Amino acid sequence: VEIRVVEKVLGANDAIAAETRKLLAEHGVLMVNVMSSPGSGKTRLLQRTLARLSPDIAVAVVVGDICTTHDADRLAEGGTPVVQINTEPFGGDCHLAAHVVREAISGFDLGAFDLILVENVGNLVCPAEFDIGEDLRCVVLSVTEGEDKPVKYPLMFRVCDVALLNKIDLLPHLEYDRELALASIRSIHADIEIFEVSARTDLGLESWLDWLESKVYAKRDRR
């Protein structure tokens, strides 16, 4: 038994991602790939985003986890259509690949949606390597993870369009150098968008929502 070289696997992945991107463009649907370490607060952040996003934006969610439907259950609470991908049957894959996401969104009537939020598997390394056909890539970084993660995991911050610094409600209880953290992100990706937020208290969420909504409307207008 032999498997294709990694370059070919990535090539096949990219071809599927390109098809997905074309399909989403036809329907004017924006897809955002949300990535982070385990426990950065991705799910709560998406819950708060769903709760506060303009009601004229129709959202669907795709959630990737190795196993369990914990995150899907939480995200579906508000009535949003959610598809849970479990990668355990695929060898416990540590990332979402394009064919898995294509399969997940095939059940949605794309004409009925403006935005698909994809919560990737919790992993600051591998998901950054796989194009899933998204328009925008978002990395969530909890301030409890320290200031130096961008320079230690540079690919993730290089490929992302926006970084959400989460859990800023905990800052009074941490030794955290905010300027160092921001400089660390900018040293890898100078013009990345950065929003400092707390999904627990909604602090800073408004700027993130404004930015996201503007991207959704721009894509919808090109439909």
Residues that bind a second copy (CB under 8 A): 1-6, 37-39, 65-68, 70, 91-92, 94, 121-126, 142, 144-146, 148-149, 151-155, 167, 170, 173-175, 200
Please check whether residue 6 is in contact with residue 110, taking contact to mean a CB–CB distance below 8 angstroms. no
Please say which residue, 33 or 123, places its beta carbon nearer to a second copy.
123
Please say which residue, 67 or 218, places its beta carbon nearer to a second copy.
67
CA distance 200 to 44: 8
Tokens of 108: 């949605």
Please check whether residue 140 is in contact with residue 41, taking contact to mean a CB–CB distance below 8 angstroms. yes
Minimum distance from CB of 210 to a second copy (Å)?
A: 28
Please say which residue, 93 or 135, places its beta carbon nearer to a second copy.
93
Q: 């463009």: which residue's tokens?
A: 25
Minimum distance from CB of 102 to a second copy (Å)?
A: 22
Minimum distance from CB of 83 to a second copy (Å)?
A: 17
Of 188, 177, 173, the C-alpha closest to 139 is 188
Beta partners for residue 195, in sequence order:
164
Of 100, 130, 134, the C-alpha closest to 117 is 134
Minimum distance from CB of 143 to a second copy (Å)?
A: 9
